[in-house]
Amino acid sequence: MDAGVRDVRGVTSPPVWSEGRAILHLDIDAFFASVEQIRNPRLRGRPVIVGTGVIASCSYEARRCGLAAGMSLAQARRLCPDATVLPGHAQTYRCFAEEIFSLAGRLAPSLETYLDEAYLDLTGTGGIHGDFLRAGAWLRMEALRRTGLSVSVGIGSSRMIAKLVTRRVKPDGIGFLPPGAEAAFLEPLAVSEIPGVGSVTGRLFGRLGIRTVRDLRRVPEPALRELLGPGGRDLHARAWGRDTRAVTRREIPGSIRRETSFEAPTIETQILVGMLHYLTERALLAARSLGIAARGVHVFVHYLEGPTQARRVTLEAASSGQERIFRAARTLLAPLLQRRAAVIRLGIELSGFGWSPGEQPSLWTEGGRAERGGASGDAIDLDRSVDRVRRRFGFSALVRGPSLELLERVPRDPYGYVLRTPCLTR
Amino acid sequence: MRWEQLNEVVKVRADFRGGIITPLLVKRGQETVRIREVNTRWIDSQGRHRLCYFSVTTDAGDIYQLRFHGGDMTWTLEYVMFEG
């Protein structure tokens, strides 16, 4: 355990902390693999991998063999031949995560959620909870009782500290760093642990001999700004434990990504175009429900034998219309399919979001048809009607366009075609 | 080990007491299968309707995934877990 972090799992009378700024970070342990283990008790205590092509999640039993997320399945099978490999079911995982996030939402109004982790701002709630640690312990206990999943919790005076504490008490742990201990706690850490130090900055720091937070502190702030731009100032502050980033419910995500792998690799254009149409529909349903429109469209394919290839385009005007975005996506896909190589994974990512232009039609459009949200008025009306039907009767109630080609050929459930890769909105 | 998708409409005897649904017996054609344990449950929605999912272990040790549709009150045997 690092200096200062206090692991309070199993401690009957932990200290009381109820004042000042307090951020709680929660992380669902080995999320997808743990859901598979509780769905199927035969998998408990055994190495489990969830993923197709690469490991999306693996159980702690698998991690003991050296497996980690992002590793290729071929390598994973060599290291851990006994592991059970499952393709995964994103929709089921989402339900479990939402159950846990709804519990967390009872503790404080500011909740920022990701795929398998969340931040919660407990500041000012001391009068309600009495003690932040008790609130964290309650969350872990309720999450386990209601879902069977273990959750690790870290509490600190900032997002960065809370997350670093969680890392140190995982799995199935709870810990905190008392206020005032941040600077001493951070000093010996590897600089790569600080948010904002990615692989590129990490390599740059490596060349400059900056390996620990202690080394980073010796670099004056103006020099860091010179080196890294405006981010240098934030990094300097974080090195001293100052992280004032707020916990906010994200109103506009950075990107919405929908992707899937195929049970059997395919070169069939109809299947690939149909799936791209379906993925576009799923991504745009999420965008329209948030009232946002995208300018960036990014299509990527992963060939059975070969790396992922991607193409992207920035639209002249933001759109949330199926017709407009799918037209762009299909244009991007066409050259990627000229290779005539079997595709194992296909996806679309929308980005560059802004608030959707709304209902006001433009007076000056080609052919005299009103245009809204970057698509023709008729098309947007159709999209909204389809959304309404799907909200009422489920996504599977309507299948349209090229995704009709997938009927009888791709497994379906009440949510539509089964996507094998977790979908991200970040 | 793999989940085999069946999507078979089945009859289920269930306990609804206390607002908690607990499936007890599954009737598949002429065969009645007793449920030994509910492994886990989770809730989703389909349009405006609630879908309740259950992973259960039968007396024979098989693992089923059941779905209860809150709109039309039907039960579906969605998946059965197979070894190998």
Q: 3-state secondary structure string, B21-67?
A: CEEEEEEECCEEEEEEEEEEEEEEEECCEEEEEEEEEECCCCEEEEE
- Residue of higher predicted confidence among A258 and A358: A258
pLDDT, one tens digit per residue, over B46-77 is 777 889 999 999 999 999 999 999 888 999 99
User: Smallest CA–CA separation between A417 and chain B, in Å?
Assistant: 13
pLDDT of A331 higher than 80? yes
The CA distance from B61 to A426, in Å, is 40
CB-based contact A345:A307 (threshold 8 Å): no
Choose the mutation target among A28, A42, A91, A410 for the interface with B, i.e. most B CBs under 10 Å: A42
pLDDT bin (cut points 50, 70, 90) of residue A424 is very low
Q: Is A305 a catalytic residue?
A: no
Domains delineated in chain A:
16-174 (3.30.70.270), 184-239 (1.10.150.20), 255-425 (3.30.1490.100)
pLDDT bin (cut points 50, 70, 90) of residue A229 is confident
pLDDT, chain B, mean? 90
pLDDT of residue A363: 52
- Give me the amino acid identity at A230: P
User: Smallest CA–CA separation between A65 and chain B, in Å?
Assistant: 20
pLDDT of residue A367: 43
pLDDT bin (cut points 50, 70, 90) of residue A214 is very high
pLDDT, one tens digit per residue, over A234-274 is 889 999 888 878 887 666 777 888 888 887 889 999 999 99
The CA distance from A258 to A280, in Å, is 8
pLDDT bin (cut points 50, 70, 90) of residue A411 is confident
The structure's pTM equals 0.75
| Catalytic one of A36, A61, A112, A117 | A117
Task: Name residue, tokens 């004032």.
Answer: A244
Nearest to B64 by CA among A39, A91, A49, A50: A39
A57 forms beta bridges with A50
Hey, is A154 helix, strand or coil?
strand
pLDDT of residue A174: 94
Chain centroid offset of residue A20 CA: 29
Q: H helices within A49-158, ranges in order?
A: 60-63, 73-79, 90-104, 126-129, 132-147
- A269: tokens are 């254009």
CB-based contact A350:A296 (threshold 8 Å): yes
- Nearest residue on chain B to A41, judged by CA atoms? B39
CB-based contact A270:A307 (threshold 8 Å): no
pLDDT of residue A251: 65
- Nearest residue on chain A to B43, judged by CA atoms? A95
pLDDT, chain A, mean? 86
pLDDT of A78 higher than 50? yes
The CA distance from A196 to A239, in Å, is 11
pLDDT, one tens digit per residue, over A123-133 is 988 888 888 99
The CA distance from B53 to B43, in Å, is 6
Q: What is the mean pLDDT of residues A316-340?
A: 92
User: Smallest CA–CA separation between B29 and chain A, in Å?
Assistant: 22
Chain A CB within 8 Å of residue B9 CB: no
